[in-house]
Amino acid sequence: MIAKIVLKALLHTTLLIFLGIGVANAAITIKPFRACRANDGLIGLIACQDCNMLTLEQARKVAQTNPLSFVHVARPEVDCSEDTKPYDVAAGIKGHENLQEFLRDNLLCHDKEDSLYLYGRIKNNRLQVGIIALVDINEYKKGNIKRHEEVLPTKERKLRLYTELQRAQVDPVLLLHEKNTELSSIVETIIHQTPHQSFYVDHAAHVVWVIKEKKTIRRICDLFKSINTLYIADGHHRTAAAAAMKNEAHENESDAHNYYMAGIFPFDQVTISSFNRIFKDLNNHSEEEFLREMSQYFDMTKVSTTQNAIPQEPHEFGIYCQGAWYKATLKEGIVRSCQKAVPMLDIAVLSNLVLKPFLNIDIYHPDDRTEFVAGMWGLECLERDCKKNNWPLAIAFFPVRSETFSTLVNEGTLMPPKTTCFEPKIRPGLFTYTFDCDSPGEKKEQN
């Protein structure tokens, strides 16, 4: 009887495979593309900081001081009127105009043939390197590209608007995967060759290798078919926007909407830092009342320097309030009262105890009362911004450990937005994926 059931199941599965339905394909599909890349001689001026790390004011300053910065494309509202907000239609149209101008002026140039790319950053004597490629967006819909943050529909629609108006993806998402030995070996061989582009900025060297050899490209693409899962490290809303565009693509569209651009790194090639937070008000409470509320759950120690306020382990926080820094350490036994969906995440612990009940801050749906500052900028940045804008509170967090990240993602648990900050960040302007691949006046060459 059991043998008959097993045989029936095998026959059913075989039929589904033959028909091409019903059985999930966990292989990851990537492909080469003709990237639009920064001019070799101007690359250091064109490639800009990760625009998600810049406030609008900071982005405007970059744009004013550097007319060649890719911020004019990635954050085109900097070239619009002061009352133009990010992701307005007018800003999206301006972004398309700026991109076309960069192409006409040869600040950006399309490669002549489909290629894969390696991007590497050298900082503190460590090289971190990943592959730049197009990834099949259907793998996201199948669940093989996993997310760890909730996607906010409003932000997804805004990013989609920019992408549709610019007809380009101007910022690669960051995807992670478990280490593949042969893939690492191929990458190791390539990085010993002379890079095609390199420049130094912000205390780091940035290098690009172009992979043109067809045999190597085929082998890399084949190796990804043995990888079952990619993890979104940075770019949840860009991924969701790409998936939505794929769903709404017309039949007469090319397959441009089937893929989106990504930097794909093994876990051992990235580092995780924290996203710190600044709060612009205390929900009608005084600073004294906030510190008193914190002291119910945390041991509060006033410290003399920002260095002493840096969290050294989970459940420690650096608190800037009343013009002074404090080290806040969760009191013994308190964490047991916080055990919900993401019990051990510091942001969740702090939210359950203080942010939600006392400050009315929703960490899953942040509003404009909260500013996010990448941990890599240091605590001095938090203090400076609070003083400059007369904001009452900043909180520094200990970074989420990689094993915690993997565990939560594999369990399907979603973290609050801006819980993790992954490095390296691929600087916008190095790689752009245009849906209309030919640059102005350029005729596409066949490989």
Question: Could you tell me the end-to-end alpha-carbon distance of the chain, in angstroms, rounded to an integer?
Answer: 57
Nearest to 208 by CA among 427, 436, 438: 427
Tell which wins on pLDDT, 264 or 374. 264
Considering only 20-29, 37-46, 82-91, 212-221, which range has the smallest mean pLDDT? 20-29
Residue spans of the domains in the chain: they are 30-41+91-270+424-434, 273-421
Q: Please report which confidence band the pLDDT of residue 336 belongs to, taking 50, 70 and 90 as the band edges.
A: low
pLDDT at 146: 93
pLDDT at 253: 54
Task: Tell me which CATH code domain 273-421 carries.
Answer: 3.30.1760
Residues in contact with 81: Cβ distance below 8 Å, sequence separation at least 6, in sequence order: none
Distance from C-alpha of 90 to C-alpha of 174, rounded to nearest angstrom: 28
pLDDT at 351: 93
Query: pTM of the prediction?
Result: 0.83
Q: What is the pLDDT of residues 101-140, one digit of tens each?
A: 999 999 999 999 999 999 999 999 999 999 999 999 999 9
Q: What is the pLDDT of residues 236-253, one digit of tens each?
A: 999 999 999 887 765 445
Give the Cβ contact number of residue 187 at 10 Å: 20
Report how far Cα 359 is from the mean position of its chain's Cα atoms: 28
- Give burial (CB, 10 Å; 0-12/13-18/19+) of 18: exposed
Q: Please report which confidence band the pLDDT of residue 437 belongs to, taking 50, 70 and 90 as the band edges.
A: low
Report how far Cα 374 is from the mean position of its chain's Cα atoms: 12
What H or E segment, with its residue span, contains residue 122? strand 116-123
pLDDT at 446: 37
| Helix axes of 236-248 and 153-166: crossing angle, nearest 10 degrees | 60
Nearest to 376 by CA among 322, 320, 420, 312: 420
H-type alpha helices, 66-211: 71-74, 89-104, 138-142, 153-166, 181-191
Residue 405: pLDDT above 90? no
Q: What is the mean pLDDT of residues 346-350?
A: 92
Distance from C-alpha of 381 to C-alpha of 373, rounded to nearest angstrom: 8
What H or E segment, with its residue span, contains residue 148? none
Nearest to 257 by CA among 132, 91, 434, 95: 434
- Residue 440: DSSP 8-state: T
Phi, psi at residue 337, to the nearest 5°? -80, 0
Tell which wins on pLDDT, 156 or 255. 156
Residue 436: pLDDT above 60? yes
Q: What is the pLDDT of residues 3-56, one digit of tens each?
A: 443 334 334 333 333 333 333 456 899 999 999 999 999 999 999 887 777 777
Percent of the chain's residues with pLDDT above 70: 88
pLDDT at 157: 87
User: Which two three-digit tokens encode residue 363?
Assistant: 């960490």
CB 156 within 8 A of CB 244: yes
For the chain, the average pLDDT equals: 87
Q: What is the mean pLDDT of residues 361-390?
A: 92
User: Which two three-digit tokens encode residue 121?
Assistant: 């950053």
CB 49 within 8 A of CB 427: yes
What H or E segment, with its residue span, contains residue 227? none
